[in-house]
Structures are given as C-alpha cells and as structure tokens.
Structure 1
Amino acid sequence: MRGMKSRLLTRREMDDLITKPDLPSLIADLENTPYREYIIGAKGRLDGILCIEAALRDNFTNTFRKVQDFVRQEEAERYIVIFLHRWDVQNIKTILRGKNIHVTSEEIASCLVPAGEMDEATLNELLKQPDVRAVVDLLATWKIPYARPLTRAYPEFLKTKDLAVLECALDRYYYDDALASVNSPGYNNQIIQDILRLEVDVINIKTVLRMVRDRVDPEEARRYLIGGGRVFDERKLGSMLCLSSIEDVVKTLANTPYRFLADLPESSIRSQKISIIEKELERFLIRKGVGAFRLEPLSVASVIGYFWAKYNEVTNIRVISRCKTADVSPDILKEELVYV
C-alpha cells in the first residue's frame, strides 16, 4: 500500500496541472504521470474532458480491483468491500437522479464509476430503464440488496416526489450494513468503525444545515437523519434541527471536533451559503481518512489511508479539468482543491 501511495501525484505535480492553459495541454501533461496508459486508451475514442473523465474512471476502478486481488482472505478485504459498496450506492443514486429529471443515458453513464460490485454491464442494464420505478424493480428482480430499502421507501417517494427519500434510505442501509459487518472487537474493526461513524456525522451535519436553512419542520426533518454517528446521537441532532439559523448550528458545534467551522467567514454563514460549510466538512473527512496512514502500518489503516488519498487525487484532477473548461483562474482553482 505504501508503494502504491508513493505513485500518487505530489503537491508540486498537482500545482503543475493547475498552470496548464487548456484541456489539450492538461491531457498531454497527464500522459507523463501514472495515468499515462489510461489517457492514451481514452484518447482513442474520446476528446477533451470526456477523455480525462474516462481515464480517471478506468484508473480508479482498476486500482481498487488490484488492491482487492492482493488482500484476498485478509482482514483488510472487509474494508475494501465496504469501500466498493459505497460506489454501488453512489452509482444507483446517480442513475435515479438522472431518470428522475429525464437526463439521457449517455449523460448519466459519463458520471458513473463502476468500481463497486455492480459491473459496467449491470449498470448499463439499469441505464436502459425508462424511469425511477423501473430501476428499483430491476434491482429487486436481480435480488440486489439495495432494492430492499428502495422498495420500502418508494411509496413515500411517490407521495412527496422528493428523491432525497430514496437516497436517504440507501445511505441508511449502507451504513447500517457496513457498521454491522465490523461490530466485533479488534483493532482493525475499530479503525473501520471510526471512519464510518465520522462519515455518518458529516452526512447528518449537512442534512441539519439544509433542513434549518429551508425551515423544514423538525419532526419531518428527522426522517432524513442516519443512525450510527460518532459524536451526534438522535437527541443531539433533534435539538440542532430546532435551531433557527445556520449561525446557531455552527455555534452548537463549538465543543465538538467540528469547531473549525466557526473559523469560516461570518458573511458566508450569515448568508446561508452552506456549500462553503459542506466543502470544509469534505476537507475534514478526507484529511481524517488519509490520516489513517499514521496509524499501525501493518493494519487496515494503510488501505484506508490509500483509498482516501486516491479518491482525493482523482477528485482534484476532475476539479482541475472542469475548471479549465470554465476558464477559472489558477488562484481560485487552488482554493477548490484539497491538499493532503
């Protein structure tokens, strides 16, 4: 794992990518990195940002398949399976979102990352379905576990027309299942539990921020919370939902690991711009994940640290490529990246 980590791009290499004036020069520069073979493969069939997206997607998928192959039958495989399931959930959400707003299958497909247990052929069949209901029905026909929470939540989705109902059901199922798989004593299980519970906290804080901003009734808002967090139980989250402003929520976090949010500009908090707060929460989560490298090197911590570092690298390159199409200045672009 540490050998693979050494092949990740350095901060200097990432900054070099930022200075490229356009997409062709960015693609040319990526050919001088470990992404070379994937860029060359994608160039044969795609141009511009689609070429970069396809190369990153293929590299990301193959990297995790490689890791899975050399840790089979070891305890670390449990975390890899949990991590890969995350992409199954993300891909299902992406397909549901696309079908809900009637986006073309081609557009949806460009946003998928077939790194989970659902391979490209499975995802393509889901893409062929005409609407949200058909996607859920096909998952149920295939007896894919994610169909259960979606089927249970579907009647409520029909009433509310709010896709968040289905997405929350998926998240709740994923984290309940993941935490249950590592609930026995042991150093490795504890490390995995800690990062999962941290993720649940971050998701719940984001939910609270949106609900308070939109003045959703606290009782109604509770339905969108997920259990299993490290810092916030149902009672604490419920009291936060009753607050009157984003500013009050941030103040409530002063005595928690999320006190860093109080350092954000007051103007952005007062203006209810939760996207800025969400960005900081993402940075916090990524740094905590990558920070696992500092734990016991012969434990699952190395796998966790590498996965988060790789995820962050791919995310940063995607941000750079998209900003190049929008002619964003290098200084502003740097602010959008997470350096670890």
Structure 2
Amino acid sequence: MSMSIPGLNGGGSNAPNAAARCKARRGKLLDRTQLRQMIQQSPEQLASTVADKGYRNEIDMYSTRFSGSDLLEMALTHRLSRELNEVLGFCKGELLKQVGVYANRFSYFNTKVVLRAVENNVSAEELSHDILPEENEWNTNWLDIVKNSSSLNEVAIALGNKPWGRAISSLDTNATLANYEDALDKHYYKESIAALKGQNTANSLLRRYLHMEIDHNNIMKFFEGKRQGLSSDLIESLFLPEGKLITTGMLKNLSSMDENGIIEVLRKNSRFDISEFEKAVDESNKIESLDPIMMFLNKRTFHVLEKMSYLSPISALPVVHYLALMRQEVRDIRMIVRGLSVGLDKNLIDAHIGA
C-alpha cells in the first residue's frame, strides 16, 4: 500500500473541513455488533455483506481474477489504499503534514514487503497476485522495484529519494533482512517525532501517540523475547528508543528483567491500567499465547487515540483516528474472512475483532 502526499508546504490548514468529513466517514464504519453478525454468515452471505458495506466497487474490480476469501482480501486492501489517498487528498497545509506522518507508515510497511520479496526470490508477478495486486495503481512503483532488484541493497538504492529509502541506505552489504526492518522501524519513529515540532495541541498529542506506540512495541518485544528464550542483549536490540512509559535509559535494565519486573515498571505510571494488564499477562501464561497482551495493548491504543480526538476535535487527531479505525475495520473483516475460510472456532474469531 502506498500513497502520494502532494503540496506539503502549500496553502493553509483546513482542519475543520477535514475533521468533519472524517467524522461523517467514521459513522459509516462497521461496529462490533455488525462484525459479530458477519462471523455467523456463510461464505456467500459474507461476500454479499462485505459488498453492501461499501466494498462493492473493489470486489467487482478483482472478481475476474480472484474468488472466495482471496477476492475479499484483495478488495479490502485496495479500499484501504483508496481511503488513505482520498483523505490525504482533501487535507491541506500543516494538516496534511501531520496526517502524512501517520500515513507514511504504510510506505515503510510496503518497503518491508518489497525487501522480503527480494530476499526470498519472490517475483513481481507472484507479488502482483498476492499482497501487492497490480489492479491497485499505487502498487505499480513497488512492483517495478521488485522486478528490477536482485538484492536488499538494490532496493535501498531504488528508494534512495524517499524517507523510507534513506532509512536503509547506510546499511552495509552484510546487513540482514532483520537489520533492514529494524532500521525502518527506528527511522519511522525518529523522523515522525522530529516532524511534529512545536507545542500546538495537535502536534503534542500526535507525539504522545507515537511515544505510546513505541512503548507498546517494546512491551510486546519484551514478552516475545522472554517467551522465546532470547538473550538480554538480543532483546535489547529489538527495542525502539524514545518511549515514555519505559524510557530509553531504562531499556538495557528492562531486557534483563523477568515478567514481574516489567509489570513493576509499568505499575509506576498512573495512566497505565496495571490491573487489567496483569490479567492479560496471567491469561497469556495460562493459554501459552501472547494474544491477550497484544489485544490489551491494541485496545489501549484506540482508547487513547479516541480520547485525543475528542480533546482536539478540530485538528489532525480526528483524521488520524478515522484512518486508524478504517485500518482496524479492514483487519477485522480480514480476520473474519480468513478465520471462516480455514474453519476457525467462531468464538476465537470473535475474541480477536474490535478495538
């Protein structure tokens, strides 16, 4: 998925208009009740429901080349791309810059997709039948890079004029795919936080949101590393700097703690619901899965973002909130489609949808 961000420095901000338009779009998103109803449907009913919920044009576009769950997944991904570009298209001036900070993450993600394809000898044609369908005009440049690159370094060179390309341009020839992906993550947050200068409310709240994402990333990396038995040094290398719950200076010590240690660190912050987090950790240990922790953090992310959008209703926050909710809707429908197609328990699917 990719997007263009024209005219970053041109014109004044149009936050009132953009916020109102995104509020109207947000009202059309599926709620949890509607999603739960979809879980109970047959594959044929599900396809009809998805079409009726605003995805019909995309389903029609891909229907000649895909069918079943593959068709729905292609349609969902395309719709998210279109929505991102349409929203960026009606944002102007400083608002466009602020929303672009959030939207850029999709280009960083696509860079990872391209790097993985080149590393694993996946052709552009194969990729065009999967995660980057050629019907999506925003995928053209990404597919061309896969077609013309035979190494990770060549991908970095091809993207050299983009921020996500500069993130990996200085890596040496011996760098691994993991090194490239780590560099992309760190660069995205460093550049994004730096772009949100000034003390106006929207910039301050967006910086806080990014710091929260860093904290949540580091919490997940901690538990992943510990459950996999990784060394403290390796766990430390997985962390992102610039968190607030867990500051950069605390990361080295954190990597050598056990699970009780991180709980005690987080307990010191009054904004973090430690009692619910402890329940998630206990459930995670009980079922031997990190899903409860991931779901707790995901819900916390949306709770904080929703609160921020209400604190600053005529700003970039309602726009970012809408894009995040749209992204979550696509993830939820994809989870339902995939889950039903492989026969997953419906209660399990239900537990994994909704923010």
- Place the TM-score, normalised by the shorter chain, in its bin: 0.7 to 0.9
2:98 aligns with 79
Evaluate the alpha carbon distance shift between residue 119 and residue 37 of structure 1 in structure 2; reply closer, same or farther with a 3 A threshold.
Answer: closer
User: How many angstroms apart in 2 are the aligned matches of 1:220 and 1:70?
Assistant: 44
Higher relative contact order (CA 8 A, sep 6+): 2
| 8 Å CA contact retained: 1:38, 1:59 | yes
- From the superposition, tell whether residues 316 and 271 of structure 1 become closer, same or farther in structure 2 (CA, over 3 Å): closer
The partner residue of 1:195 within 209, 223, 228 is 209
Q: Which residue of 1 aligns with 2:7?
A: none
Distance 1:218 1:265, change over 3 A: closer
CA offset digits 1:243-281 (Å, max 9, x no partner):
1x3354344433331623211263633776334423332
Displacement of 1:149: 2.8
2:232 to 194, 218, 222: 218
* Residue pairs, 1:182-261, within 5 angstroms: 182-243=196-257, 245-256=258-269, 257=272, 259=274, 260-261=276-277
Report the counterpart of residue 123 of structure 1 in structure 2.
142
Q: How does 1:138-153 map to 2 (within 5 A)?
A: 138-140=158-160, 143-153=161-171
Q: Which amino acid aligns with 1:51?
A: L
Structure 1 pair 202–69 and aligned structure 2 pair: CA distance change class (3 A)? same
Whole-angstrom CA distance in 2 between matches of 1:82 and 1:48:
35
- Aligned position for 1:299: 315
Give the whole-Å Cα distance in 1 for the aligned partners of 2:90 and 2:118.
37
Aligned ranges 1:41-52 → 2 under 5 Å: 41-52=61-72
Counterpart for residue 120 of structure 2: 101
Q: CA RMSD in A?
A: 2.6
Q: CA deviation at 1:144?
A: 2.4
* 1:106 to partner: Cα distance: 4.7
SS at match of 1:190: helix
Count of aligned pairs between the two proteins? 328
Q: What SS class does the counterpart of residue 328 from structure 1 fall into?
A: coil
Q: What is the deviation of 1:18?
A: 1.1
The SS at the match of 2:171 is helix
Contact 1:251 1:262 in 2 (8 A): no
Give the direction of change, closer, same or farther, for the CA distance of 1:232–1:31 in structure 2 (3 Å limit).
same
- Pair 1:64-2:77 in alignment: no
- Aligned position for 1:338: 354
The amino acid of 2:266's aligned partner reads L
Q: What TM-score, normalized to structure 2?
A: 0.83
* AA aligned opposite 1:277: I
Specify the SS of the correspondent of 1:46.
Answer: coil
Choose 261-270 or 77-86, whichever is displaced more: 261-270
Q: Is the 8 A contact 1:213 1:246 kept in 2?
A: no
1:114-166 deviation line (CA, Å, top 9, x unaligned): 9xxx93221111221334333223223xx223233313234452xxx4x3221
Change over 3 Å in CA distance of 1:188–1:213 after alignment to 2: same
The structural deviation recorded for 1:321 is 0.6
Say whether residues 1:312 and 2:333 are aligned partners. no
- Would the alpha carbon gap of residues 95 and 6 (structure 1) be closer, same or farther in structure 2, given more than 3 Å must change? same
Task: Tell me the percent identity.
Answer: 19
Contact 1:146/1:170 (CA < 8 Å) preserved in 2?
yes
Aligned residues of 1:99 and 1:132 also touching (Cα < 8 A): yes
Deviation at 1:288, TM superposition (A): 2.5
- TM-fit CA distance, 1:316: 0.4
Check conservation: 1:93, 1:167, Cα contact below 8 A.
yes
Aligned mate of 2:294, from 272, 278, 288: 278
Structure 2: which 5+ residue stretches go unaligned? 1-21
Cα distance in 2 between the residues matched to 1:216 and 1:265:
19
| C-alpha contact 2:124 2:144 (8 A) present in aligned 1 | no
Any conservation in 1 of the 2:115–2:155 contact (CA below 8 Å)?
yes
TM, length-normalised to structure 1: 0.86
Alpha-carbon deviations, 1:46-65, whole Å to 9, x = none?
A: 21122112211221111122
Distance 1:94 1:258 in 2: 35
Q: Can you give the 5+ residue segments of structure 1 that lack an aligned partner in the other structure?
A: none
Q: Which amino acid aligns with 1:268?
A: S
Q: Distance in 2 between matches of 1:179 and 1:215?
A: 32
Equivalent pair of 1:76/1:303 in contact (CA under 8 Å): no
Cα distance in 1 for partners of 2:98, 2:126 equals 31
Q: Please state if 1:39 is matched with 2:53.
A: no
- Whole-Å separation in 2 of the counterparts to 1:329 and 1:225: 34
* Aligned partner (choices 325, 329, 335) of residue 341 of structure 2: 325
Q: List per-residue Cα deviations over 1:6-65 (Å, max 9, x = no partner).
A: 11112222122111122x321111122122222222223321122112211221111122
